[in-house]
Structure 1
Amino acid sequence: MRISVKAPAKINLTLDVLSKRADGYHEVEMVMTTVDLADRVDLTLLESDEIHLDCSASFVPVDERNHAYKAAKLLQERYGVQKGVRMYIDKQIPVAAGLGGGSSDAAAALRGLNMLWGLDLSLDELASIGAEIGSDVPFCVYGGTAFAQGRGEIVTPLGTPAPCWVVLAKPSIGVSTADVYGNLRVDKIGEHPQTEVMLQAIEAQDFWLMCHSLCNVLEEVTLSRYAQVRQIKELMVESGADGVLMSGSGPTVFALVQKQARVQRIYNALRGFVKEVYAVRMLGGSEAEVLA
């Protein structure tokens, strides 16, 4: 038996950090949504209990360091599964980019293995297991658009935002999420997102209110440390994007664009500056289906 699962990238429409928690994590509030840039996770049933993982990107680890591998191991041990799996990740989402690629792969593995191994777990149960792997995994289990709280594991699904184009640009640098959070002074944050306004914008499918409500408190750390990220944001604004924000801890910056004619202009301007540029649609709705 072999199945494939789509693992879409996510972007943060808002990201607020409220406090540092006793467990070392930060208390956050985030509005996230999926975009039509996706990895594909192929799963083949093995009669032995072995877990094998391969990936199209040679620099991605294929052992216990990989979130999808962790997901398989955790399910296997938690539910006493005697079968195994051969997994292959067709990697399309940039790595360490603030787009949740590793978390989405783990979520896809959880959803696919739930079917492959006949576990009959609900999405809520899979999301709870995903929280043990990474903070963004629960959101990725549900997909679509959602409001995330706690350290990201408390997920409230939302409606579909106003449809639009999303232009993503990732500079050829790596950004450590731990370093960005480590350099954030919660008591010195200049501007917090108006999260309630963003929630209203999504409910009303108000594109302009969504654009005006974009806010990520981690930007001030990443933009001050990485000039390329700041330059990408400035270039997107100059090229006519309707709304611009860094996703997650970076370094990817995205532009929201309503008119298709403007997408090509922004894409071309960015391609002259960085190699990894993508023009995709916002998905918004749940993408948690398993593609048999």
Structure 2
Amino acid sequence: MPDTQPPTLSLTAPAKINLSLRILGKHSDGYHEIETLMAPLTLADELEITCAHTGTPNPSKHSVNPFIECAPTNHLNDPLNLNQRINPPTAYSLQPTASIRPVARIAPPVTLLCNDPSLPCGPENLCVKAALAFQEASGINTPIAITLLKRIPHGAGLGGGSSDAAAVLRGMNQLFGEPLVIEELHQIAASLGSDIPFFLEPKSSWCHGRGELLQEANPLPPWRLLLIKPPFSIATAWAYNRLEAIGYRLEEKNEEKENCKLQETGDREQVENELDAGSPTSSVDGVTIVNDLELPVFEKYLLLPVLKEWLQERKEIRHAWMTGSGSTMVALLREEITPEAITMLKKEITSDFGATFWIKETGFRENQ
């Protein structure tokens, strides 16, 4: 018998960290002008994208509005819910009639299943937004099911949601024979979120503008990293707005950026020296580490500067900083550190700061 299994594609969606994050100004649309060095990590979410059977009716051809369905999950026994059958709902004719009559059973355009019950699986989810945007841009309305195994904590400054959305765009384009060129995918990605274009081709990059303009960076050292996230998240919009509220000189920094002609000269070291420092910078193995958002975040979330100082005092750690808008702290481990020492370090973190901290060892994806 012929194989009747629907086409399925498996993908990974890597996390990222910001090694350098400078806030240079603000656009008239409210978005901020930034310059950041981002690098993808070995830590990654897992996704599967499955096409519906070819005989499944297209929702757009019926007299009902397409909608999103999120099936309940049993994440303890079946993280990806691969064994769970999703029964599509019944569509009803909207024509005047004495009684409502079922006319067809149709699949929703996008179904999302996730092992994390705290994440919404409806139209507000970035994966769903990405899938619907791809369908609209490509004209391909084949219903799909997405299963998402979350390993990257959300609200952590690690780009998990953006990476998942980019993986959906990449995966659907591959699954349907690449109807869109990379420039079209970038346009969709930028419309969904500033850092989503970075994850379409995840590699160490300098990101400009709102974060959507990319320039490949030099290879990074094979660092060993430890990610430490407290049991709270920080809203990115709040961090940026608070930066202005405490008097950060966005306009002056923006003018200096123009005078330095960053994109014309490409001399990043000169630019960094000429820009108003704003935040303390460090150089490790020739890589400049700075995060302007530490200023507003550390002012409110007093645990984070304490944690950073604690980490930097450890002999096993070369440097520590906050990634993105937080709340994750990044610790650069010494090369010679042993697995036993890492285990002990994790125990000391949870002992001193709490057992609810999320801790994960990782490295740069390009050094795998």
Please give the range of the TM-score, normalised by the shorter of the 2 chains.
0.7 to 0.9
Q: CA deviation at 1:284?
A: 3.3
Q: CA deviation at 1:31?
A: 0.4
2:120 to 41, 61, 70: 61
Contact 2:221 2:285 in 1 (8 A): no
What is residue 78 of structure 2 aligned with on the other side? Answer: none
What is residue 41 of structure 2 aligned with on the other side? Answer: 35
Higher relative contact order (CA 8 A, sep 6+): 1
Contact 2:20 2:36 in 1 (8 A): yes
Amino acid at match of 2:268: E
Contact 2:13 2:163 in 1 (8 A): yes
Q: Secondary structure at the match of 1:10?
A: strand
For structure 2, the residue ranges without an aligned partner over 5 or more in a row are 1-6, 59-108, 254-261, 273-282
In 1: Cα distance, 2:249 partner to 2:227 partner: 25
Greater C-alpha radius of gyration: 2
Q: CA deviation at 1:174?
A: 1.7
In 1: Cα distance, 2:270 partner to 2:148 partner: 33
2:212 to 127, 136, 153: 153
Q: CA deviation at 1:198?
A: 11
**Matched residues, number:** 278
In 1: Cα distance, 2:270 partner to 2:222 partner: 15
For structure 1, the residue ranges without an aligned partner over 5 or more in a row are 201-205, 288-292
In 1: Cα distance, 2:111 partner to 2:144 partner: 6
Q: Secondary structure at the match of 2:21?
A: strand
**Closer, same or farther: CA 110–245 of 1 in aligned 2, 3 Å:** same
2:160 to 101, 121, 132: 101
Amino acid at match of 2:134: L
What is residue 183 of structure 1 aligned with on the other side? Answer: 242
What is residue 326 of structure 2 aligned with on the other side? Answer: 250
1:105-151 residue CA offsets vs partner (Å, 9 max, x unmatched): 00110110001122343333322210011111001111010000000
TM normalised by structure 2 equals 0.70
The 5 Å alignment of 1:1-292 reads 1-46=7-52, 47=54, 48=56, 49=58, 50-185=109-244, 188=248, 196-197=268-269, 208-210=285-287, 213-240=288-315, 241-261=317-337, 264=342, 265-272=344-351, 273-274=353-354, 275-284=357-366
Q: CA deviation at 1:196?
A: 1.9
Identity %: 32
**Closer, same or farther: CA 102–260 of 1 in aligned 2, 3 Å:** farther
Q: CA deviation at 1:158?
A: 2.1
Contact 2:223 2:333 in 1 (8 A): yes
Amino acid at match of 1:247: T
In 1: Cα distance, 2:220 partner to 2:183 partner: 23
Q: Secondary structure at the match of 1:188?
A: coil
Contact 1:40 1:89 in 2 (8 A): yes
In 2: Cα distance, 1:221 partner to 1:14 partner: 16
Amino acid at match of 2:27: R
In 2: Cα distance, 1:196 partner to 1:269 partner: 38
Name the Cα RMSD after superposition: 2.6
Contact 2:138 2:180 in 1 (8 A): no
Contact 2:48 2:147 in 1 (8 A): yes
Q: Secondary structure at the match of 1:37?
A: strand
Q: CA deviation at 1:242?
A: 1.4
In 2: Cα distance, 1:156 partner to 1:199 partner: 16
In 2: Cα distance, 1:73 partner to 1:158 partner: 32
What is residue 72 of structure 2 aligned with on the other side? Answer: none
**Closer, same or farther: CA 18–197 of 1 in aligned 2, 3 Å:** same
Amino acid at match of 2:123: E
